[in-house]
Chain A
Amino acid sequence: MTAAASDPAPSGFLARRRLGLRVWWTMLVICLEERLVYRGDFVLGTLMRFLPIVTQVFLWTAVFGATSSGSIAGYSRNDIVAYYLLTMVSRAFSSMPGLASGIARSIRDGSIKKYLVQPVDYVGYLLAARIAHKLVYYAVATLPFAGVFLFCRDYFPPIPDWTTLGAFALSLVLSFLLGFFMEATLGMLGFWFLEVSSIVFAYMLVQYMLSGHMFPLDMLRDIPTGVAGVSVADVVRFLPFEYTAYFPAAVWLGKVQGAQLVRSLLLEAAWVGVMIVACRIAWWRGTRRYSAFGG
């Protein structure tokens, strides 16, 4: 029991905010410690994420070697390599491994009920846990990331201007929030379905393809939908997935600029807002129909 929890409830807005922050900080520290218990597994998992990039670099080098064109969908070979590396950065922010399945599991096995009786906001706790997870991940991954980027520096265009860098950073923060709230909402479907593993898998499938993780979404520009003048890329642009991989990478590479950049950032922020509301509604509706039994 922490001192904060044993103290009498503080009065006043500022005191309550301070207590809220202290609880949140405690949750963050606990989650950080939890993350570091199985260090070997964590380091191994982090380093492995670079492996798929290697095959993609060789695949696209072979593709460019066999085609007479020096550019595919506006990307040179160097652009493609830089794109894949940058999507690694995007995914480092937006991917939420185990979040949805963890929520569904705690609903199924009843462990979620402790959050219903404690003065802790479950979504807030999950957010703190995820930030802790990411902080540890960045601490471990920064060095290999820097090494790989330094090694592959010739593939990258010159470092963009400060405005683009700011937009890139903002797009990454928004992609983290978007990824978190999308997966948390998905996990809360467990209130209705109990087992959501197939839904999560289907989501991952769609997300992997439509986020631009697999290939730059600009490659879909010439794929028709059947509606005159509308390509598959046009449809994908209206979905939230591209903000979790493609968009930050495209910002860095200068593929999205000017008014389009502002519009896209606003759209990304709007998607974050939509998913926060969806997550809160799912939690609110779900806890009202939830029934737990056992000790």
Chain B
Amino acid sequence: MTRYVSILLTFARACLVRDMTFRANFVLECVTSLGWMAMNLAFYLLVFTFTPEIGLGTGWTKEPFFAFVATGLIINSIVQALFMPSAEELTEMVRTGGLDGILVQPLDAQFLLSMHRVDFSAFANGLVGVGLLAWAIPRLPQPPHPVAILLYPLLVVCGVAILYSLVIMLAAATIHLGRNQSLYDFWFYLTNFSRYPAEIYSGPWGGPLRALCTFVIPILLVVNVPARVIAQPLTGQGGMMVAGTVFAAGAALVISRWVFQTALSKYRSASS
């Protein structure tokens, strides 16, 4: 384990050195990333000029909703920084045969393939998320319970674990498809479901969709549970939600590991 941590730190240091070699590009990447986020925030502000809350009686008024958005920013920035760059590279490695070189390394292939690149510019959004959360929390209708504050980091880690599992499973699909240029798009579209409070998925179609995205692909647990814990009063259901999220994160990691290993066993080298 210590060996893997040490290797991960070496990867991170190498990526940081490379990013700092092209400082202007790094700053530009941060700025564009922040621009994307600012655009989304502007959209939410626009929505709140037309409505006092997202969904009647849901409690997602402006400040709680921005705490929700901040949580999403933090979780997504961690995943974007630590896992997405490597997963995107895998799609080309499979097609070009570059994966062969990874498989012969004396290290766990999933570790190498999912963590060898770190995109430090993606942390910019996470920092803004932390700032937005710091702005929203004192303005919440009810201050968060001390237990909620303790649970919040754990639930953020669970959210990251669920998303990581999803990235790994999508990357594994590359091995079957030969090429998966749509990986990033699919990731974007799928995580789109987690960007809004679960309450919006209601009615004859919304109910089943909510169940699907909670129990089958637990994408709705990723942001909703930590955001709800911090932004809305803890109720009796809160304990169940927290336990369910921790379980879902563990199960997602195990399943994604199995899917990835199975996919690797089906890999046929593309190189000569």
Identify the A interface with B (CB < 8 A): 38, 40-41, 44-45, 48-49, 51-52, 54-55, 58-59, 61-67, 69, 72-73, 195, 198, 201-202, 205, 208-209, 214-215, 219-220, 222-223
Q: Does the CB pair B54–A48 fall under 8 Å? A: no
Residues of B29-71 at the interface with A, using a CB-CB cut-off of 8 Å, are: 29, 32, 35-36, 39, 42-43, 46-47, 49-56, 58
Residues of A within 8 A of B199 (CB): 62
Given A61-B200, A205-B32, 12 new contacts (CB under 8 A) = A38-B177, A48-B189, A55-B193, A59-B200, A62-B202, A65-B56, A66-B51, A66-B53, A66-B54, A205-B35, A209-B42, A222-B49
Please report the C-alpha to C-alpha distance between residue A215 and residue B48 in the assembled complex, in whole angstroms: 13
The residue that A48 contacts in the complex, of B29, B50, B56, B185, with Cβ under 8 A, is B185
Please report the C-alpha to C-alpha distance between residue A64 and residue B50 in the assembled complex, in whole angstroms: 9
Please report the C-alpha to C-alpha distance between residue A52 and residue B194 in the assembled complex, in whole angstroms: 11
| Nearest CB on B from A70, distance (A) | 12
With A195-B25, A205-B32 known as contacts, the answer to whether A45 contacts B54 (CB < 8 A) is no
Q: Does the CB pair B189–A62 fall under 8 Å? A: no
Q: Does the CB pair A215–B181 fall under 8 Å? A: no
Please report the C-alpha to C-alpha distance between residue A54 and residue B206 in the assembled complex, in whole angstroms: 9
Q: Does the CB pair B182–A55 fall under 8 Å? A: no
With A38-B177, A41-B177 known as contacts, the answer to whether A62 contacts B39 (CB < 8 A) is no
Residues of B within 8 A of A58 (CB): 196, 200-202, 206, 209
Q: Which chain A residue lies CB-closest to B190?
A: A51
Residues of B within 8 A of A64 (CB): 51
Please report the C-alpha to C-alpha distance between residue A64 and residue B47 in the assembled complex, in whole angstroms: 10
Residues of A within 8 A of B53 (CB): 66
The residue that A38 contacts in the complex, of B51, B52, B179, B195, with Cβ under 8 A, is B179
The residue that A54 contacts in the complex, of B46, B52, B182, B209, with Cβ under 8 A, is B209
Q: Which chain A residue lies CB-closest to B29?
A: A198
The residue that A63 contacts in the complex, of B47, B185, B189, with Cβ under 8 A, is B47
Please report the C-alpha to C-alpha distance between residue A201 and residue B122 in the assembled complex, in whole angstroms: 14
Q: Does the CB pair A40–B196 fall under 8 Å? A: no
| Nearest CB on B from A223, distance (A) | 8
| A to B CB contacts below 8 Å, 18 in the list | A38-B178, A40-B177, A44-B180, A48-B186, A49-B185, A49-B189, A51-B190, A58-B202, A59-B47, A59-B54, A62-B56, A62-B200, A65-B55, A66-B53, A66-B54, A66-B55, A205-B36, A209-B42
Residues of A within 8 A of B51 (CB): 63-64, 66-67
Please report the C-alpha to C-alpha distance between residue A64 and residue B54 in the assembled complex, in whole angstroms: 9
With A51-B190, A59-B196, A65-B56 known as contacts, the answer to whether A209 contacts B39 (CB < 8 A) is yes
Residues of B within 8 A of A65 (CB): 55-56
With A41-B180, A45-B181, A62-B200 known as contacts, the answer to whether A214 contacts B192 (CB < 8 A) is no
Residues of B within 8 A of A41 (CB): 177-182
Q: Which chain A residue lies CB-closest to B55?
A: A62
Q: Does the CB pair A66–B39 fall under 8 Å? A: no
Instruction: Tell me if B28 is interfacial: C-beta within 8 Å of chain A.
Output: yes
Q: Considering the complex of A and B, which 8 residue pairs feature the smallest CB-CB distances, nearest first?
A: A45-B182, A51-B189, A62-B55, A62-B200, A198-B28, A201-B32, A58-B200, A67-B51
Q: Does the CB pair A44–B186 fall under 8 Å? A: yes
Please report the C-alpha to C-alpha distance between residue A51 and residue B186 in the assembled complex, in whole angstroms: 9
Please report the C-alpha to C-alpha distance between residue A54 and residue B195 in the assembled complex, in whole angstroms: 12
Q: Does the CB pair A63–B50 fall under 8 Å? A: yes
The residue that B32 contacts in the complex, of A48, A198, A220, with Cβ under 8 A, is A198
The residue that A72 contacts in the complex, of B42, B50, B180, with Cβ under 8 A, is B50
Residues of A within 8 A of B196 (CB): 55, 58-59, 62
Please report the C-alpha to C-alpha distance between residue A59 and residue B39 in the assembled complex, in whole angstroms: 17
Q: Which chain A residue lies CB-closest to B39?
A: A209
| Residue among B25, B176, B182 facing the most chain A CB atoms (10 A cut-off) | B182
| Residue among A51, A54, A58 facing the most chain B CB atoms (10 A cut-off) | A58
The residue that A205 contacts in the complex, of B39, B182, B185, B195, with Cβ under 8 A, is B39
| Nearest CB on A from B177, distance (A) | 4
| Nearest CB on B from A241, distance (A) | 13
Residues of B109-144 at the interface with A, using a CB-CB cut-off of 8 Å, are: none
